[in-house]
Structures are given as C-alpha cells and as structure tokens.
Amino acid sequence: MLYNLAHFLRAHCSWIWTIFELVNAWLFVLRYAHKLSVVIAGNIVPLTVERIEALAQFFKRQPEDAFIYFRPHAFDVKTLHSLVRNKAFLAYLVIDDNGEIIGYFFLRCFFWGKCYRGYMTDYAHRRQGINRLMGIEATKIAQHLHLRMFGSIAPDNVASMKSAQTVNDIKIIETLRNGDYLVEYLPKS
C-alpha cells in the first residue's frame, strides 16, 4: 500500500513528494547517520556531485531495452543532483580498472526501517557478475543499517529474478497494479 501511495504522490502530487523526501532524509540521517560509514568493495564508490556527469553519460549510452524494467527516477543531470543531495538515497557506482562506470545501484531508504533497491549494469558488461556484486553490497549495507530491503520485479524479467535469487532469498509480498511483484530481499539462509 505504501509503495502504491509513494508512486501516486510522486506522479501526481510532486510537491507533496518533495516535502516528504526532505522530511524523510532529515529523519533518516537522525536515525542512521552514526551507521552510514559502511565498508564496501574496493571497486564500488558512492555517487557524489563530481560523478554525476559521468553517471548521466552512463545512462545515455545504455540501449533502450535497458530501461524496459528500470525507471526508478529520471536520468538527467538535474535529477541526479537532487538524488545526491537526498541523504536517504544511497547511490553507488561500480567502476572498472579504467575508471569507467559499469554498474549503478541504489537504496532508497526510509526512516522507519525499510529501503527499496534498484540497479543497472552496463550493457557491455552484462553476465560478468556485476549484478551479483551489487546485490551482495546492497544486502550488506541494508543489513548493516538494519533495514528491510524491498524492490519490484516484473514477472517476465526472468534475468532479474534469477540474479536476485543468487544473492538473496526472495519473498513475493504482492502483485502491484502494474503487474510487477513487490518483493522482499532476505539474506540467504
């Protein structure tokens, strides 16, 4: 229900969503700031203002089919700036040996102890374990912060479901109005 409400507010009442995001970020930092220094893999770096342009270019070079199932936010520089400023939006980049972005993942966190994850691997680096790496690191971060982690997976996006299942146990919570599954990502048992 909260998932549907959030999407409704973001789509139809953007000013309410903006206020909510400001309050949520403030409360999230109050609750979790002391835990935010998470150790992550060496080739993963947080998204910073200095890396926004490179991330925008990363999104531009992806083929259309990369966005069929992945539209969590707009991909322009202005939107990416607002995401970096949002302290409850934890975004990370996977960097190759040449300094090029080959993966992007985020946790959109809420002060009440939940987060929603999303990720995208560069089209030229698919099937090289990048999704698995991002899933492992996202799970580590969520566990470190004691956040329950959720996401949505389209039933016909078999690759995403299989990738998620290599890292997490998946619990389907409900089918959303658009047909996607709302899932909870649980640590592997």
Q: Chain centroid to CA 30: how far?
A: 21
- Which of 143, 147, 74, 145 lies closest to 116 in space, CA to CA? 147
Q: Among 3.30.70.20, 1.25.40.20, 3.40.630.30, 3.30.565.10, what is the CATH number of 1-150? A: 3.40.630.30
Kindly report the pTM of this predicted structure. 0.85
Residue 90 backbone dihedrals phi, psi, to 5 degrees: -95, 110
| Residue ranges covered by each domain of the chain | 1-150
What does the block give as tokens for 78? 């202005």
pLDDT in tens, the chain (189 residues): 566 666 676 777 777 878 888 887 888 878 877 776 766 667 899 999 999 999 999 999 988 888 877 777 878 999 999 999 999 999 999 999 898 999 999 999 999 999 999 998 988 888 888 988 999 999 999 999 999 999 999 888 888 888 889 999 999 999 988 888 999 999 887
CB-based burial, 62-71: b 16+ in 10 Å, e otherwise: beeeeeebbe
The residues pairing with 110 across neighbouring beta strands, listed in sequence order, are: 114
For Cα atoms 168, 181, 79, give the angle at the middle one, nearest 5 degrees.
85
Read off the tokens for 69.
């199932």
